[in-house]
Amino acid sequence: METHSCNKRVALVTGAAKGIGLACAEAFAKAGYITVMADIEKPVGQAENLDLKGYHAVAWQCDVSDTEAVRDMIDGIVAEYGRLDAAHNNAGIQTPQRPMAEITDKEFQRTIDVDFKGVWNCMKYEIKQMLKQGGGAIVNTSSQGGVTGFPGQAAYIACKHAVIGLTRTAAIDYSSKGIRINAVCPGVILTPMAKELIARNPSLETELIRDIPAGRMGLPSEIAEAVLWLCSPGASFVHGHALLVDGAFSIH
């Protein structure tokens, strides 16, 4: 069983300014965690909104592709709050949709730097801290594209597969040290960006849900529930799992 030695558990969510990360930050904050909301642009208003609801959220600026910035962020969180109990490495970008050979080296490199190296960087320093404090839980955001292919997204999909490989291997490395490392694989999620796209092109919704047996897109809050559970003592024997939350898209 996981135990937390201080009353205030501390959670970090990257890519917390919007979409899935914002919903996950709200879920952690609502569950009583001091929640550090990290994003490439400091999400000040988003953290203030959660504070206004009576939760404890803190905005942090960090580009997850920058190794030193990630190290400084983890050091800063520990200096301020003493520990890090849960971390959701969620920040991600998509490559412009094009066949593989047409993706430029620059696009490839930035995708790798954020979607793969970003998770690597965060895990590395989170694990170092969790080893010092005797445990913790990490969830990395992969995708349904971490277990399937998707046209025109070779670099992104390769990173999402890599995140699962990294999650599984690190889970083996650290499971005996009280650190549980898992991944969540969202399906098509109705984020604000998706809502905007659908508002501009209503037929897009039908196209998006055509291949989802559940007949609808997921909600950011449904990913948040899964992430929160993976970080909870209720998931104490769950290690190295890639949890699909995709309305059965990837299995049909």
Would you please indicate which residues are annotated as catalytic (active-site) residues?
Answer: 156
Nearer to ligand NAI, 133 or 223 (CB): 223
CB of residue 4 to ligand NAI, shortest distance in Å:
26
Q: What is the number of other CB atoms lying within 10 angstroms of the CB of residue 139? A: 28
| 240 is an interface residue for ligand NAI by CB under 6 A | no
| 91 is an interface residue for ligand NAI by CB under 6 A | yes
CB of residue 119 to ligand NAI, shortest distance in Å:
9
Binding piece for ligand NAI, criterion CB under 6 A, among 1-9, 62-70, 80-88, 230-238: 62-70
- In the chain, count of helices (H) and strands (E)? 9, 7
CB of residue 188 to ligand NAI, shortest distance in Å:
5
| 71 is an interface residue for ligand NAI by CB under 6 A | no
* Among positions 35, 65, 133, 153, the unique one binding ligand NAI when judged by CB under 6 A: 65
Q: What single letter denotes the amino acid at residue 128? A: K
Token pair, residue 140, equals 């990395």
* Among positions 84, 103, 114, 138, the unique one binding ligand NAI when judged by CB under 6 A: 114
| 89 is an interface residue for ligand NAI by CB under 6 A | no
Token pair, residue 12, equals 């970090």
φ and ψ of 18, to 5 deg:
-160, 180
Cβ–Cβ under 8 Å, residues 42 and 18: no
Rounded to an integer, what distance in angstroms lies between the CA atom of residue 247 and that of residue 191? 16
DSSP string, 63-100: -TT-HHHHHHHHHHHHHHHS---EEEE-------S--G
| 47 is an interface residue for ligand NAI by CB under 6 A | no
CB of residue 80 to ligand NAI, shortest distance in Å:
19
Token pair, residue 232, equals 């909870």
CB of residue 189 to ligand NAI, shortest distance in Å:
4
Taking CA atoms, 194 is separated from 9, 81, 197, in Å, by 32, 35, 5
| 95 is an interface residue for ligand NAI by CB under 6 A | no
Nearer to ligand NAI, 62 or 130 (CB): 62
* Among positions 58, 133, 164, 186, the unique one binding ligand NAI when judged by CB under 6 A: 186
Token pair, residue 4, equals 């937390």
Longest alpha-carbon distance in the chain: 52
| 208 is an interface residue for ligand NAI by CB under 6 A | no
| 227 is an interface residue for ligand NAI by CB under 6 A | no
* CB burial readout 72-88, b (16+ within 10 A) else e: ebbeebbeebebbbbbb
Which chain residues interact with ligand NAI by CB under 6 A?
A: 14-15, 17-21, 39-40, 62-65, 90-93, 114, 118, 141, 143, 186, 188-189, 191, 193
